[in-house]
Structure formats: structure tokens, C-alpha cells
Amino acid sequence: MNRLWVRLSLMIAGVLFLVFFMQFLSIMTSSDLGQPPGITENPGAGRPLDDGGPMAAGRAEIARRLVNFMILSIAVGLGAGIVIARIVSAPINDLALAAHRVGQGELGVRVKPHGSQEMVELADSFNKMAADLQHAEVLRNNLMADVSHELRTPLTVLEGNLRAALDRVYALDEAEIANLYGQTRHLIRLVSDLRELALAENHQLPLERQPTDLNALVVETLQAIEPLAAEKGVQLTDQMASLPEVTVDVIRIRQVLFNLLSNALRHTPAGGQISVSGTREGGEVHLAVRDTGEGLEPDQLAAVFDRFYRTDRSRSRDTGGTGLGLAIVKAIVEAHGGRVEAHSEGRGQGSTFTVVLPAA
């Protein structure tokens, strides 16, 4: 009795029978109001008629019609219930089947929206949910593949060098120890970056906000990276306007600036320039890091903040970083309620990364 068509059929049949039964009671009541029950006057014969006469026959006819209509109402109710239930339950059955298949791991399943407006909206919501789950699964698989690929390189180097040392192929001199140490630091940095990224994307990154002078913070970060720029022959410039204080986590925003400057330095050749500018626009503070380096294609702009994304796939991991710097920048800025944008006129035209933070 839990099937939808059974319940609808009985409901329709019951409503039809109840309507006719109320009419039957009305007829019987009105017929009884004229004469006492069981007695009626025969004007022609001048004597009463008992219930076996015309009155009884009339009531018997009404009872017979009631039974016939009851049978008809049940038949109509069952037929109508089946038709209506099939129409109503078809979209629900499709959704139930699709949900079961999604639960089994078939994330590419979609349902065709049909039926009432509510069912169409429900189907659209289900399709969006399934698409989001499929996208999340693709990202998860890509992340696992990228992480294993990134870890494999330094681990393979460590294993090979240590095995060669154990087999006495060569002795562990200072150069080899320095190489192993560098690979170890790369692993530590990769694991640390992954942890910070996971915390930030799950909104669990602790932030110690305090009023901060962005002008002083930019100058401090530029001074820290100046030796690296001088070694590569890249000029650093400061084009900061007077900015209001912002309430941010100083350490995290310094990390954002350092990652952006390191990224710009990595892609700017000797003789190039990197500038940092700051402006206030309405209730927002804009920090822009511009370089005269390699630039980005339009398709690269859409993916530049993805994990492990590198514009130059041939670049080694030692010179190309972990591929998480810009992803961490995006996650930290969004944790502060801001956003980060990338702009470029194309290859060889340089790039601009703009951090937008709410003003205090």
C-alpha cells in the first residue's frame, strides 16, 4: 500500500463515492420528510401503503444506483489514479534512479527535466549537484596525481643517491649532502604548502588580524627580495600611493606579496623590471605587482591560480617552484574577504597580478 498509484487511486475513488453518498443521504432525507417512515397515503384507494409498495421500490432503485455508482467510482478512481500517478511519479522515479547511480559512482548521470515546474527545478538542481560532484572528483583525481608526481621526483633523487652511497658507488661528499639537503627542503616546502592550501580552502587557516600599514609592509617585502632581484639583474620599483590601514594578518599578506614577487622574478629575464603599486578605489585597496616578463596567454589566465599549474611545462621543479604559490595567494586573499586577479596582454607583454582587499 505504499505505492503512489494505489494511494491516489483509493483517494480519487473515495472522493467520488463520498460525493455520491452525500447526495444519496440528501435524497433519502428529503423523501422521508414528507411522510412518516414506512407509511404513505394512497389518494386513489384511501388506504396506506407499506414499505413493500412504490416507496420501497424507489428506495431500492436508489440503493441499486448507489452500488452501481460505487463500483463505477472505484473503477474510475483506480484508472485515474494509475494515470495521474504515472504522470506524477515518472520524474520522481527518474530522479531516484539517477540518485542511485550517482551513489554507485556514476557521476556523469543527468536527468531530463520534465513534469511540473517544481519537478523541473528539482531536476535542474540535481543535475547541478551531479556536475559539481563530477568536477570535484576530477579535481581530486588531478590533485592526487599531481601530488604523487611532485613527490616522486625528490624522493627518487633521495633514494638513488642514498642507495649509491650504501653500495659505495661514491662517497657522500659535501656536494652530494648539499644536493640531498636541497631535495629534503623541497619536500618539506611542498608538504607545508599543501597543508596551508588545504587549511585556507577549508576556511580553517588561522588569521591574526590587526591594523596594518600596507606601505611599510610592501617596502619591507621589497627589501627582503632585493638581493634575489639584484642577483638576476631585475630592477624593483615602488609606486605606492598613501594607503589607509587595513585589518589583515601581517604574516599572511607578507606571504602573498612574497609569492607574487617571487613568481614575477621567476618569469622576468635579466634587465627586466618589477613594480609594486597600491591605490585605494572606493572601499577597496588594490595592490598590483607588474613585471616585464614572459606574459600569459588568455587560456593561461584562467588556470594560473590552479594547483601545480606551470606556464612552462619544461621548467624544472627546482627553478619552477612547487606550483602552489599562486594557489596559496588566492586562498589567503579570499580568506581575508578579498580577491586576486591576473592580467596580461599576451606572450612577451608581461603580467599584472592585483590583490584587492577591503579597506578598514
Instruction: Supply the DSSP symbol for 53.
Output: S
Tens-digit pLDDT profile for residues 227-242: 889 999 999 998 888 8
Instruction: Name the maximum alpha-carbon separation found in the chain.
Output: 139
Q: What residue numbers bound the domain in which 300 lies?
A: 210-358
Q: Report yes or no on 316 lying in a domain.
A: yes
Residue range 266-276: mean pLDDT, rounded: 91
Handedness of CA 251, 253, 256, 262 (dihedral sign): negative
pLDDT score at 38 = 45
The pLDDT confidence band at residue 274, using thresholds 50, 70 and 90, is very high
Q: Is 117 among the domain residues?
A: no
CATH code, domain with 293: 3.30.565.10
Same domain? For 219 and 354 the reply is yes
d(Cα 340, Cα 26) in Å, to the nearest integer? 77
The residue ranking higher by pLDDT, 201 or 35, is 201
CA gap 12, 75 in Å, rounded: 10
- For residues 139 and 307, what is the distance between their CA atoms, to the nearest angstrom? 10
Distance CA 354, CA 301 (A): 13
pLDDT over threshold 80, residue 341: yes
Three-state secondary-structure class, residue 304? coil
The answer to whether 328 and 314 are in contact (CB under 8 A) is no
Give residue 315's pLDDT: 45
CA distance 322 to 328: 11
The answer to whether position 57 is within a domain reads yes
Alpha-carbon dihedral sign for residues 326, 332, 335, 340: negative
The domain boundary, picked from 141, 170, 201, lies at 201
pLDDT tops 70 at residue 317: no
136/90 same-domain check:
no
Considering the domain architecture, whether residues 139 and 95 belong to the same structural domain is answered as no
The residue out of 90, 106, 122 marking a domain boundary is 106
Same-domain check for residues 275 and 319: yes
C-alpha pair distances (Å), 82 with each of 7, 57, 72, 207: 9, 37, 15, 60
Q: Answer with the one of 181, 201, 221 that is the final residue of a domain.
A: 201
Q: Which of 27-31, 81-85, 101-105, 339-343 has the lowest mean pLDDT?
A: 27-31
Comparing CA positions, the residue from 222, 278, 277 lying closest to residue 254 is 222
Q: Would you place residue 174 in the very low, low, confident or very high pLDDT band (cuts 50, 70, 90)?
A: confident
pTM for this prediction? 0.58
| Rounded average pLDDT over 181-210 | 80
Q: How many folded domains does the chain comprise?
A: 3
